[in-house]
Structure 1
């Protein structure tokens, strides 16, 4: 959690920049927008200010990461919720072809998996490599998320680009508790 005085200081700094005419969606010399920076620093008050001033929740930094990607990386559920409420694209792929959901799986953050699914993430879609998200959950041995996605109706027989199902992956990796 970012101390309140740090959050307020960042919000005030951004408010001054905006009042001086800075475009809320302009990129700085490092390829970041004010919203990217506020999300990265975990300043909820700065995020609120920028969203009120019309910041684009799907604008990318120079690495094709949206504010949602950054919020997932920082595991900031509050800012994630604010971005979702403003229409952040759950399926946007960064420069590596990874969506926010991919990043959540890597970090094994079940609360964020639930939050994404509640906001309508299509867990049946495949990543840039043709791998379904259920396969990622199984291959990372993220048992609680596998259970959650299956209870929500994921296709257990979906295949990856090699024709493998989740059962193939679980058996190959000796994940008996999933198989």
Structure 2
């Protein structure tokens, strides 16, 4: 008789194989019992979640062909396979496959994040482009009131900021702390990102919930001076 630990390991063998990239094992398990593709483990994840999060493309290709496959299945935290793929580097092929299977680019997890929030945080420009081209909205706020633009600004990614603004992201939207993307860019010391936002119409005199304007969040005088000087060259006056 199997111990409870051994029984659990046996029950979630396909999840282990997906994590470890054992394509032959996954194929064998699915041939024996196709329903394993829809089995949830103790983390409330399906095998597809693990295969995507570890970038095991051959296994993902196997799983998406299984009966009753739902590309938008969410784990216990509301993450879809697409969200996981969008959070990874060099995941273009994974993202392409999931989108080709009809993945919803605007579905939210439990914190209100979409795939575009995650790719903005990781400065994955190519993935962000794919999402936007497939109608991902740049205007969705998460539960902290943040747009993907807030995250791109905090990461200091000028190309992503440009992309999101072109996708109709509001430049002056505030999060639950009253912080705009400009506040986040300057607070993280990203002078070029701050200037890009100012050029796009970010309001330099907008105050956060503590009554602080963005430039006052500069981590040091050198960064503040750089932003003042660069803005002046662009014909932008800071308060």
Does TM, normalized by the shorter one, top 0.5?
yes
Matched, 1:100 2:148: yes
Q: Does 1 or 2 have the higher relative contact order (CA < 8 Å, sep 6+)?
A: 1
Cα distance 1:128–1:23, how it changes in 2: closer, same or farther (>3 A)? Answer: same
Q: Are 1:57 and 2:105 matched, yes or no? A: yes
Deviation for aligned residue 1:80? 0.8
The change in CA–CA distance for 1:105 and 1:149 in structure 2 (over 3 A counts) is: closer
Q: Check if 1:152 corresponds to 2:152.
A: no
Task: Measure the CA separation in 2 of the matches of 1:155 and 1:86.
Answer: 30
1:3 aligned partner:
none
Matched, 1:40 2:87: yes
Residue 12 of structure 1 corresponds to which residue in structure 2? 61
Residue 57 (structure 1) shift: 0.7
> If the length of structure 2 is used for normalisation, what is the TM-score?
0.60
Map 1:22-171 → 2, pairs under 5 A: 22-28=69-75, 31-42=78-89, 43-169=91-217
Unaligned runs of 5+ in 1: 1-5
Paired residue secondary structure (1:177): helix
Any conservation in 2 of the 1:135–1:169 contact (CA below 8 Å)? yes
Offset of residue 34 of structure 1:
2.5
The alignment's TM-score, normalised by the length of structure 1, stands at 0.77
1:158 Cα offset (Å): 2.4
How many pairs are equivalent?
Answer: 171
**Could you say what secondary structure the match of 1:16 adopts?**
coil
* Cα pair 1:11 1:45 within 8 Å, conserved: no
Structure 1 segments of 4+ aligned residues over 4 angstroms from their partners: 167-170
Deviations 1:48-80 (A, max 9, x none): 232233211111234432111222233321111
Secondary structure, aligned partner of 1:93: coil
Separation in 2, partners of 1:75, 1:53: 24
CA distance in 2, matches of 1:109, 1:177: 17
2:161–2:193 CA contact under 8 A, matched in 1: yes
Superposition RMSD in Å: 2.7
SS of aligned partner of 2:226: coil
Name the CA distance, whole Å, in 2 between partners of 1:168 and 1:63.
29
Residues 132 and 107 of structure 1: CA distance in aligned 2, closer, same or farther (over 3 Å): closer
